[in-house]
Amino acid sequence: VGTVPVAEGKSVQQTVELLARRLEALGAEKQGTFGVDCETYHTAATLGTQGQTGKLMYVMHNSEYPLSCFALFENGPCLVADANFDTLMVKLKGFFQNAKANKIESRGTRYQYCDFLVKLGTVTMGPSARGISVEVEYCPCVIANDCWNLLMEFMQSFMGSHTPGIPSVFGSKHDSTYSPGDTMVQYMELFNKIRKQQQVPVAGIR
């Protein structure tokens, strides 16, 4: 239940392989692939007051939930809709414009270790690989805060010192039930972070 970018001095490809090897050494089993993608939409200038930049909306898909489509505003609400939400967006062209160049996605392999689900993905934007995403989910537990320590320990076992801090969504959740939307919020934040450091192709450790 967390998404984590790791990029090191080596190439993205090498790092992914290294992580995969460590996971397999732990005893994790490969379980096919996964993919998360994200498209950006601008609110059309006509709607907002002149001069003010329009709000950004992100439309995301997750192969884990093939029938759903997630629409998120930055810091805003997360809308979970059926997959044909995409066609609706085409109809709303007048209000929301698709920023084609900004499409970003993460694809990779899905691993299972006991009750943990690990998704190791390469984040690509256009043709170039920009970073690595690691999603770790502990399926039996529905309250993220409860199992954070457990997750930490697990992540340390294969990510070493690159273990991330507690994701911000956890803070606001307290003890309500974790939902797929929360995962998407984390992916959105991760993608935004990666986008911002476009200028530095080989990034340091985050």
Partner 1 sequence: MADGALSPGVNLEAFSQAIAAIQALRSSVTRVFDCLKDGMRNKETLEGREKGFVAAFQESLHSVSRDLGELERLSNLVGKPSENHPLHNSGLLSLDPVQDKTPLYSQLLQAYKWSNKLQYHAGLASGLLNQQSLKRSANQMGVSAKRRPKAQPTTLVLPPQYVDDVISRIDRMFPEMSIQLSRPNGTSAMLLVTLGKVLKVIVVMRSLFIDRTIVKGYSENVYTEDGKLDIWSKSNYQVFQKVTDHATTALLHYQLPQMPDVVVRSFMTWLRSYIKLFQAPCQRCGKFLQDGLPPTWRDFRTLEAFHDTCRQ
> Per-residue x/- marks for partner 1, 73-112, CB under 8 A?
----------------------------------------
Least separation in angstroms between residue 179's CB and partner 1 is 11
Chain positions 177 to 206 lying near partner 1, rule: CB under 8 A, are 177
> Helix, strand, or coil here: 50?
coil
- Distance between CA atoms of residues 20 and 91, nearest Å: 42
- Distance between CA atoms of residues 190 and 206, nearest Å: 10
Q: Which is nearer to partner 1, 138 or 191 (CB)?
A: 138
Q: Which is nearer to partner 1, 50 or 177 (CB)?
A: 177
Nearest to 64 by CA among 35, 31, 21, 95: 35
Do 37 and 105 form a contact (C-beta atoms < 8 A)?
yes
Least separation in angstroms between residue 141's CB and partner 1 is 5
Least separation in angstroms between residue 140's CB and partner 1 is 4
Q: Which is nearer to partner 1, 68 or 157 (CB)?
A: 157
> Per-residue x/- marks for partner 1, 127-146, CB under 8 A?
-----------xxxxxx--x
Strand partners, 98: 41
Least separation in angstroms between residue 153's CB and partner 1 is 5
Q: Judged by CB under 8 A, how many residues of this single chain contact partner 1? A: 20
27 binds partner 1 (CB under 8 A): yes
- Distance between CA atoms of residues 112 and 136, nearest Å: 10
> Per-residue x/- marks for partner 1, 144-173, CB under 8 A?
--xx-xx--xx--x----------------
Do 83 and 2 form a contact (C-beta atoms < 8 A)?
no
75-97 as b/e: b if 16+ CB within 10 A:
eeebeeeeeebeeebeeeeeebe
Interacting residues with partner 1 (CB under 8 A): 27, 113-116, 138-143, 146-147, 149-150, 153-154, 157, 175, 177
